[in-house]
């Protein structure tokens, strides 16, 4: 459907499935995808195949290519909007709750059910948005609710899935950054935390919140660039013919603007106790800045305008629905203040990244040692078949 990956090559081994289930048992364990909503299941399978393909392609790459080592990723059987990265039994894991996947897909289903949104795609006139309100995004998730939100037109449904796919690919890249940029080691050393759970229920000190926000900004920054390059390449290769008439940078920023607006709607109000993440509007601002410095200007001469266009389409839709999260409201009222806030956070993040450097080297060294150990035992190249598959498809 949306990527070149196939289902059989990237299916996780039974051992990896069991290791994931054991490591994530306290969070709900591994999700059995046969439980998922059938329309969204194929997208989720494709996402997990893509995740695994990417990891195996970079598994033993040398720095600075973020070696992924023994990293296992899968979905967690948990309806909360959350994701977790952790180390366990000499392996690293990324678990993405199905509740987060469901929320993002639902948002795009409701979005594409509005006839005025991207009205040149499919038969927009058959959509009846009235029944599919944004309020449904605040309800408890269920596959049944999701089914009631699907766009009526098949092509618009496909586009909703493509855009949701990219938003989730960004979430994945963000989690990989927490692992590969040694954030887990930092949290263990400084706060004795074994797991990095995105949205925590414990209260944080001001100092902890600042450090966590810097880690989040660092993960977003790394994820923004890889995600933007991936999406524009897929679009240029003709992977999404239904989106061929729209600039890839517009659809890219649209998909991320939706992700952060949805997170804003679900966030605690501004002024509540110190939080672990920068406000979603500040995060989107950083992601957009990062992208604007990262695309090829000769390929995208109007790139900045396209990035702004995607963001604008989502903001307009959000306002039309009469729902605006706190941080986007604040951004509209005081853009200069938001830019100052981001500049401060960027400075603090730069300082923290310096502290992370030796930890990243330590992690890379551990991975190299394990690889040598593995090579010695197997007397063969590790995961040769995976790497071959990946290079054929890269
Ligand atoms: Zn994070």
What are the mean pLDDT values of the chain's consecutive 10-residue runs (394 residues total)? 42 86 95 86 85 75 62 92 90 93 92 93 86 73 82 95 94 92 92 88 85 95 90 93 95 96 81 84 94 82 92 90 76 91 95 91 83 68 43 37
Kindly report the backbone phi and psi dihedral angles of residue 151, in degrees, each rounded to the nearest multiple of 5, phi listed first: -55, 145
Decide: helix, strand or coil at residue 245.
coil
What distance in angstroms lies between residue 198's CA and the mean position of ligand 1's atoms?
5
User: Token pair 């197997």 is at which residue?
Assistant: 378
Residues with CB under 5 A from ligand 1 (ion): 198, 216, 219
**What is d(CA 106, CA 394) in angstroms, rounded to the nearest whole number?**
30
What are the φ and ψ backbone dihedral angles of 300, each rounded to 5 degrees?
-125, 75
Centroid of ligand 1 to alpha carbon of 197 (angstroms) = 8
Considering the entire predicted model, what is its pTM? Answer: 0.89
Model pLDDT, residue 130: 65
Residues ≥6 apart with Cβ < 8 Å to 271? none
End-to-end Cα, the chain, rounded Å: 16
In the prediction, which pLDDT does 379 show?
61
pLDDT at 10: 52
Give the integer Cα–Cα distance in Å for 316 and 273: 30
Task: Determine the distance separating the centroid of ligand 1 and the alpha carbon of 174, expressed in angstroms.
Answer: 6
Q: Do residues 314 and 257 touch, judged by C-beta distance below 8 A?
A: yes
Q: Are 168 and 75 a contacting pair, CB within 8 Å?
A: no
Cα(193) to ligand 1 centroid in Å equals 14
> Sheet containing 83-88: which strands, arranged edge to edge?
71-76, 91-97, 83-88, 195-197
Tell me if residue 1 falls in helix, strand or coil: coil
What is the residue extent of each domain of the chain?
A: 5-356
Dist. CA 283 → ligand 1 center (Å)? 11
Ligand 1 centroid–CA 314 distance in Å is 23
Considering only CA atoms, which of 68, 71, 54, 72 is closest in space to residue 394?
54
* CA of 229 relative to ligand 1 center, distance in Å: 20
Give dist(CA 209, CA 192) in Å, integer.
Answer: 15
Span from the CA of 237 to the centroid of ligand 1 (angstroms): 30
Q: How far is the CA of 178 from the centre of ligand 1 (A)?
A: 7
Give residue 175 CA to ligand 1 midpoint distance, Å: 6
**What pLDDT does 23 receive?**
95
CB 277 within 8 A of CB 198: yes
What is the 281 CA–ligand 1 centroid distance (Å)?
15
Expressed in angstroms and rounded, the spacing between residue 9 Cα and the centre of ligand 1 is: 29
Instruction: Specify the pLDDT at position 91.
Output: 87
Pairing of the two strands 71-76 and 91-97? parallel
Q: CA 73, CA 2: separation in Å to the nearest integer?
A: 19
Ligand 1 centroid from CA 108, angstroms: 22
Cα(212) to centroid(ligand 1), Å? 8
| Residue 338 CB coordination number (10 Å) | 19
Rounded distance from Cα 387 to ligand 1 centre (Å) = 28
Per-residue confidence (pLDDT) for residue 5, from 0 to 100: 41
Report CA(302)–ligand 1 centroid distance (Å).
31
Give distance in angstroms: CA of 172 to centre of ligand 1. Answer: 10
């Amino acid at each position: 459907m949306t990527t070149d990956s196939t289902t059989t090559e990237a299916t996780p081994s039974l051992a990896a499935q069991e290791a994931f289930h054991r490591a994530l048992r306290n969070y709900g364990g591994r999700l059995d995808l046969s439980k998922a909503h059938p329309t969204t299941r194929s997208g989720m399978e494709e996402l997990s195949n893509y995740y695994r393909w990417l990891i195996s392609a970079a598994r033993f790459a040398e720095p600075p290519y973020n070696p992924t080592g023994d990293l296992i990723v899968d979905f967690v059987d948990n309806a909360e909007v959350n994701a977790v990265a952790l180390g366990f039994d000499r392996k690293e894991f990324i678990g993405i709750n199905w509740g987060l996947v469901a929320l993002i897909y639902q948002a795009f289903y409701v979005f594409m059910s509005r006839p005025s949104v991207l009205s040149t795609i499919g038969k927009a006139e058959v959509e009846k948005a009235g029944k599919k309100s944004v309020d449904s995004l605040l309800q408890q998730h269920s596959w049944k609710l999701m089914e009631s939100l699907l766009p009526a037109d098949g092509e618009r449904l496909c586009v909703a899935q493509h855009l949701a796919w990219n938003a989730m690919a960004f979430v994945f890249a963000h989690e990989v950054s927490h692992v590969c940029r040694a954030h887990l080691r930092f949290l263990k050393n400084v706060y004795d935390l074994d797991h990095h759970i995105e949205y925590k229920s414990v209260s944080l000190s001001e100092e902890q919140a600042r450090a966590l926000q810097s880690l989040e900004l660092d993960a977003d920054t790394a994820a923004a660039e890889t995600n933007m390059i991936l999406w524009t390449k897929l679009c240029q290769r003709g992977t999404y013919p239904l989106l061929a008439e729209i600039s890839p940078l517009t659809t890219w920023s649209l998909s991320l603007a939706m992700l952060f607006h949805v997170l804003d709607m679900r966030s605690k109000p501004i002024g509540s106790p110190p939080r672990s993440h920068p406000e979603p509007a500040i995060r989107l601002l950083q992601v957009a800045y990062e992208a604007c410095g990262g695309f090829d200007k000769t390929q995208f001469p109007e790139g900045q305008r396209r990035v702004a266009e995607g963001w604008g389409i989502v903001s307009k839709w959000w306002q039309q629905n009469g729902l605006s999260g706190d941080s986007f409201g604040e951004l509209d009222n005081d853009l200069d203040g938001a830019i100052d806030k981001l500049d401060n956070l960027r400075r603090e993040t730069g300082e923290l990244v310096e502290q992370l450097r030796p930890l990243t080297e330590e992690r890379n060294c551990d991975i190299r040692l394990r690889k040598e150990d593995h090579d010695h035992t197997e007397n063969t190249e590790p995961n040769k078949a995976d790497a071959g598959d990946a290079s054929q498809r890269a």
